[in-house]
Amino acid sequence: MPKPPRQSTPSLADLRSEIDRIDAKMHELLIERGEIIDRLIAVKKTQESGSAFRPAREADMMRRLVKRHHGSLPLDTAESIWRVIISTFTYVQAPFSVHADLSAGDALMRDSARFHFGFTVPFVPHMGASSVVEAVTESRGDLGLIPAFATAGAGPWWAALEFDSAPKIIARLPFVERADHPAAMPVFVISRVTPDAMVTETEVWSMRVSGWSAAAVSALAPLGDVIAVPDRAFDGAGLLVSVARGGIDGVAEALLGIGASIRSKALVGSHATRYTVPEK
């Protein structure tokens, strides 16, 4: 039988031509995406007072991206590209700014902001979580970035989110967690979004507790993430508690079980369950 013809090895010029073809196609697709956004703006014809972000849809998009990703391209690069695409087209649809608390480190916060939102969205620095909350409260649809363990200032900063008209926690970054993440600092995102756009897998509660102690810390550790700061208004602590949806009752029972007294609690936001990439 005759041997099949040997396939010639492509030349460097051939491979570079293929890369150019793919680059041009990706650019065309981005332009096409922009045209759809133009049509979306025309259909909505809205001047909403809240953020145009859709946290639930974004979480679903990022989960699908991670699951289908493979090959030599680092996941960090793919995630950041998609984040910037989403944020930039959201900005085109409804301009917004990102207000960031730099109290935990300027470089760390800027890394997080640029990784997730790129350079097109205006970046507004602040020194302190309360300043970020105030700026977002006074805006039409801006976002606020606050280090997840920010505790500096007079009392719990999250108490300002308890009011019905206040912005809420809508996300926690990074959503895709893994070793050596280039923007690894945990950050809460606050803004106003429509209720149907929220993702409620993890609820975030503001609580005031009397009798806060080391025993209380141990009791709550298995139930969720807890940030505690002394509350000068009474002999106790203000808590920011992140638990699975419906888990706040278990937190209350645990506190009562060790003799703590709950003075108040209020839901101040929710976010997607963090997606952890297994180590290889």
Predicted confidence (pLDDT) at residue 251 exceeds the cutoff of 80? yes
**Res 46 pLDDT > 60:** no
Tens-place pLDDT, residues 199-210: 889 999 999 998
Q: Tens of pLDDT along 68-88?
A: 999 999 888 999 999 999 999
Please give the pLDDT value at position 37.
Answer: 86
Placement of tokens 């009011």 in the chain: 163
**Residue 47, pLDDT score:** 46
Domain layout of the chain by residue ranges = 48-196, 203-271
Q: Which residue has the higher pLDDT, 103 or 179?
A: 103
Of the listed ranges 30-44, 116-130, 180-194, the one predicted with least confidence? 30-44
pLDDT of residue 150: 73
Second CATH level (architecture) for the domain 203-271: 2-Layer Sandwich (3.30)
Q: Classify each residue of 199-234 as buried b or exposed e, where b means 16 or more C-beta atoms within 10 Å of its C-beta.
A: beebbbbbbbbebbeeebeebbeebbbbbbbebeee
**Hey, is 146 helix, strand or coil?**
strand
CA gap 120, 273 in Å, rounded: 28
Query: Do 102 and 125 contact (CB within 8 A), yes or no?
Result: yes
Distance CA 228, CA 236 (A): 10
What is the rounded average pLDDT of the residues 151-156? Answer: 68
Half-sphere exposure of 120 (CA within 13 A, CB side): 15
Render the burial of 23-39: b for 16+ CB within 10 Å, e for the rest.
eeeeeeeeeeeeeeeee
Residue 151: the pLDDT is 63
Contact present, 55 and 194 (Cβ < 8 Å): no
Indicate the SS3 state at residue 202. strand
Cα separation values, 154 from 23, 146, 159, 231, Å: 51, 16, 11, 8
pLDDT (mean) for 142-153: 83
Burial 51-76 (b: 16+ CB within 10 A, else e): bbbbbbebbeebeebbeeeeeeeebb
Least confident of 4-8, 53-57, 129-133, 243-247: 4-8
Flag whether pLDDT at 20 surpasses 60: yes
Per-residue pLDDT tens digits for 190-244: 998 888 888 889 999 999 998 888 888 888 889 989 988 887 666 788 899 999 9
